[in-house]
């Protein structure tokens, strides 16, 4: 693992789950993930061939030069790499495995980009693991990133980690919430300033809701 964004999401997920196999989707607080949120996505398992994007960070969409609406994660890969990713996703949802993927993506004009991805299980209220939270980050900083669509990608390396063997990390959640709590409250309105109503626009998380997907996947393997 080489990128701090991947490590940041993993540390947050591990602290959130405690002694459980996986945290609940409802427990994730975007405010705690402010720094990594543009690279975060959430997948929903439909069957063993289909993991639909439910949320996708704007930074992720920008790197790929595309929206992830109506996309199945598995359809981003081809051939042997597609089967490797599907097997990994099924391990994440089936046994709570943590997946780390190093891979290469390519544009239509054969420019190549190295990326890193983490896949982490999320549980429903009944404990069933049907969703995956992850992050994708580019390891290269080429000026053309985001201007050329990534159309092909293949796996370079996959690692599977046992959550119970993760090393202890500094608290992430408590530190993030302490920062929020330290922000002083806004002063009460001063009547002498008139009665004009002041409005404040809340900062929106950098996640986009995406719709269902129906893509061609090789189901013969």
pLDDT in tens, 164-190: 988 766 666 655 454 434 434 444 444
Q: Average pLDDT of 27-40? A: 91
**What mean pLDDT is predicted for residues 111-124?**
96
pLDDT band at 35 (very low <50, low <70, confident <90, very high): confident
pTM over 0.75, yes/no: yes
Distance of CA 193 to the CA centre of its chain: 45
Other beta carbons within 10 Å of 148: 16
- Report for 25-29, 30-34, 156-160, 162-166: range of highest mean pLDDT: 156-160
Q: What is the largest CA-CA distance in the chain?
A: 74
Top-confidence residue, 2 or 138: 138
**Worst-scoring range by mean pLDDT, 50-59, 113-122, 183-192?**
183-192
97 Cβ contact partners less than 8 Å away, ≥ 6 residues apart: 88, 91, 121, 160, 161, 162
**pLDDT given at position 221:** 59
Q: Which pLDDT value is given to residue 141?
A: 87
Mean pLDDT of the chain: 82
State the average pLDDT over residues 88-95.
Answer: 97
Q: Domains (ranges, CATH) in the chain? A: 4-172 (3.30.450.20)
> In the 8-state DSSP scheme, what is residue 89?
H
* Sheet strands (E) in the chain: 40-47, 50-57, 98-107, 112-123, 129-138, 150-161, 207-209
Residue that wins the pLDDT comparison between 186 and 153: 153
- 208 pLDDT higher than 80: no
In terms of pLDDT, which residue wins out, 87 or 143? Answer: 87
Look at 185 and 53; give whichever has higher pLDDT: 53
Q: Is the pLDDT of residue 214 over 50?
A: no
Calpha distance 31→20 (Å, rounded): 22
pLDDT at 211: 46
What local confidence, expressed as pLDDT, does residue 66 receive?
Answer: 86
């Amino acid at each position: 693992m080489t990128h701090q964004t991947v490590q940041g999401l993993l540390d947050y997920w591990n602290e959130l789950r405690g002694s459980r196999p996986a945290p609940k989707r409802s427990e994730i607080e975007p405010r705690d993930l402010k720094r990594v949120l543009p690279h975060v996505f959430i997948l929903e398992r439909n069957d063993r061939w289909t993991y639909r994007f439910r949320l996708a960070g704007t930074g992720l969409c920008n790197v790929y030069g595309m929206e992830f609406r109506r996309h199945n994660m598995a359809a981003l890969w081809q051939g042997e790499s597609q089967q490797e990713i599907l097997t990994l996703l099924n391990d994440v949802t089936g046994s709570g495995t943590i997946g780390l993927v190093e891979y290469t993506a390519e544009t239509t004009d054969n420019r190549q980009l190295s990326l890193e991805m983490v896949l982490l299980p999320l549980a429903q209220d009944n404990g069933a693991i049907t969703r995956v939270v992850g992050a994708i980050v580019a390891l290269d900083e080429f000026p053309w990133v985001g201007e050329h669509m990534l159309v092909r990608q293949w796996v370079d390396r996959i690692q599977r980690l046992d959550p119970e063997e993760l090393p202890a990390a500094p608290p992430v959640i408590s530190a993030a919430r302490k920062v929020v709590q330290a922000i002083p409250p806004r002063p009460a309105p001063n009547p002498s300033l008139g009665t004009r109503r002041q409005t404040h626009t809340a900062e929106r998380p950098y996640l986009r809701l995406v719709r269902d997907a129906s893509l061609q996947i090789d189901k013969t393997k």
